[in-house]
Amino acid sequence: MGAFRPARAKALLLAMLTLILVCTVYFYWSPTTASSTVPLVPNTAFEVPLTERQKDFWKVLRPIIERHKPNCPSPEKRGDVQAQHFDPTKDQPRPDLTGLSDEDVRKMEESHAAFIEDVKNSDKKLKPIHTPGKRGLVSTAGATYLPVFVSSLRMLRRAGSNLPVELFMKDATEHEKHICNNVLPKLDARCLILADVVGKNIIEHYQLKIFAVLFSSFEEIVWMDADCFPLGKPEDLLDSEPFKTNGLITWPDFWASSASPLYYRISRQEAPSMAARQSSETGVFLVSKKTHSLALLLAAYYNFYGPSHYFRLLSQGGPGEGDKETFIQAASAVGAPFYTVSERVQAIGHANADQLSGSAMAQSDPREDFALIQQDKRRVKDESVAPAPHIFFIHANYPKFNPGDRIFGMGWETTPTLKKDGSDGRAWTAPPEAIKRFGYDVEKAYWEEIKWVSCNLETAFKTWENKLGLCKRVEEYWGHVFAEPHDDDPKFTLDG
């Protein structure tokens, strides 16, 4: 055994102390930034993957939802509400086509109230998933919706938006590796799989929206369906009224509200006048999770038990029954503020005989709508009081503008790409006054992005496998319709 050497031990000790000092300085002085893929848990100094935060949140939320399951049979269907256009000048009787015994109403009312109370008491355990101050756009897409989403995403970027995007997919069967790993990241978008958090076959199509919002890493969210796109930068809406004051903005559907009187008893609310507001069209909405966390959790409860109980209570078989009414009704039930855009949704399409062959819905700029309401100018009651707001969002909902899914020819009764004589033509030429509210040739821009997707990703999507010639057909259509101006092209500005 060698002799102990004090000098050698001293040198070793100094080296160890130096190493500890360097590590300490590095740890405390290095700037800590939140990665877009691995954000920080709020109020901590430790980086935790988003998936872990989502799973921790779901482990707390799911038992609360299941603990307060409506302890009664599904409501009785006594007929379906017919499509009734909204009329703000008449307070008509609320439709009442759903049956539930007084005892079952009481059970649902108690479960509803107990869920809200349980969530409030579990606030410290339901740790926020989102990163404070982070904002972005959230959507869902898979299968035939995925090519449509990529075109919409390119329209978002074309509008100048820098919002990061989170695209949620139901399960691994919808995940497409090349699109998710190579295409979307170049557009600052990423794919997330809901089944990785909630498990397989837990939530279905109409229930995906609320859970995508809840499990997003964003605090302020612009929601857009895969077939929606903006004409301007959506982040500008987040910095403006009415969002800054209200924290939730929804846009209208064509139809009157058809929520059952029973729903208002269950949620302990007074039923609003039928003339108060339209039903909701939730292809687009804006929400803050900071101000509306309780409302969103109640909306999740409504959606979880939507197919069995709440979808029927909120729509009674009306057009588009599903998640569409859950957001605004949940906010109302917990007393959270919201702004419902007053300006009517506008169907756009092209003339077909004496009718409008509609293939999209146009929603107005909420800032302009809010300014008119502040002046007590309600165009929904009297269109002559002021010019209409500009269009801000397009929901190209029927059919989906997917070159691989019969968009050309007679595949749909709306025949969006055909003129009366059967030649290639524009889909959106009417009503002329609505097209002028676009501000520019939106349809040409949209098809420019569809063309890019078709020609650059022709073999990339699973649903486009073995569908040869998509790029060629889109280029032919583009050449016929958009390459040169035509005498019958519509005007795209209000002063045009």
Q: How many alpha carbons lie under 13 Å from residue 121 in its C-beta half-sphere?
A: 7
* Strand stretches in 313-417, DSSP E: 339-340, 346-352, 355-364, 391-395
Listed residue (485, 488, 449, 408) closest to 158, CA to CA: 449
* Count of positions (residues) in the chain: 496
State the average pLDDT over residues 431-452. 97
Residue 268 has pLDDT above 60, yes or no: yes
- Pick the range with the lowest mean pLDDT from 19-28, 239-248, 348-357: 19-28
Contact 231, 146 (CB under 8 A): no
pLDDT at 457: 98
pLDDT exceeds 60 at position 385:
yes
pLDDT tens-place string over residues 104-163: 999 999 999 999 999 999 988 998 899 999 999 999 999 999 999 999 999 999 999 999
Average of per-residue pLDDT across 348-354: 87
Instruction: Give the model's pLDDT for residue 30.
Output: 36
List domains and CATH numbers for the chain.
50-340 (3.90.550), 346-483 (no CATH)
Q: Identify the bridge partners of residue 362 per DSSP, sorted by sequence position.
A: 346, 394
Handedness of CA 260, 250, 243, 187 (dihedral sign): positive
Q: Which two tokens stand for residue 50?
A: 């988003």
Residue 5 contacts by C-beta under 8 Å, 6 or more apart in sequence? Answer: none
pLDDT for 22: 46
Between residues 238 and 413, which one has the greater pLDDT?
Answer: 238
Range scoring the smallest mean pLDDT among 2-11, 305-314, 410-419, 430-439:
2-11
In angstroms, rounded to a whole number, what is the distance separating the alpha carbons of residues 379 and 276?
14
Q: Is the pLDDT of residue 32 over 70?
A: no
Rounded Cα distance, 311 and 209, in Å: 14
> What pLDDT, on a 0 to 100 scale, did the predictor assign at position 21?
55
Q: How far is it, in rounded angstroms, from Cα 279 to Cα 182?
A: 39
Give the chain's largest Cα–Cα span: 107
Confidence band for 26, pLDDT divided at 50, 70 and 90: very low
Instruction: Report CA-CA distances (Å) from 405 to 126, 148, 408, 413.
Output: 42, 10, 8, 14
Instruction: HSE, CB side, 13 Å, CA atoms: give it for residue 61.
Output: 24
Predicted local confidence at residue 444, as pLDDT: 98
Q: Read off the pLDDT of residues 212-225 as tens digits, 9 standing for 90 and up.
A: 999 999 999 999 99
User: 156 near 137, Cβ under 8 Å?
Assistant: yes
Angle between helix 442-456 and helix 470-481 axes, rounded to 10 deg: 160
Q: What mean pLDDT is predicted for residues 75-102?
A: 96
Residue at token pair 């108690």: 110
Structure pTM? 0.90
The percentage of the chain sitting over the pLDDT mark of 90, rounded to a whole number, equals: 85
Whole-angstrom distance, CA of residue 261 vs CA of residue 263: 5
* Residue 179 pLDDT level (bands cut at 50, 70, 90): very high
pLDDT at 329 over 70: yes
Tokens coding 232? 């301007």
CB-based contacts of 468: which residues, under 8 Å, 6+ apart?
A: none
Q: What is the pLDDT of residue 20?
A: 56
Yes or no: say if 359 and 349 are a contact pair by the CB < 8 Å rule.
yes
DSSP helix/strand/coil, 58: helix
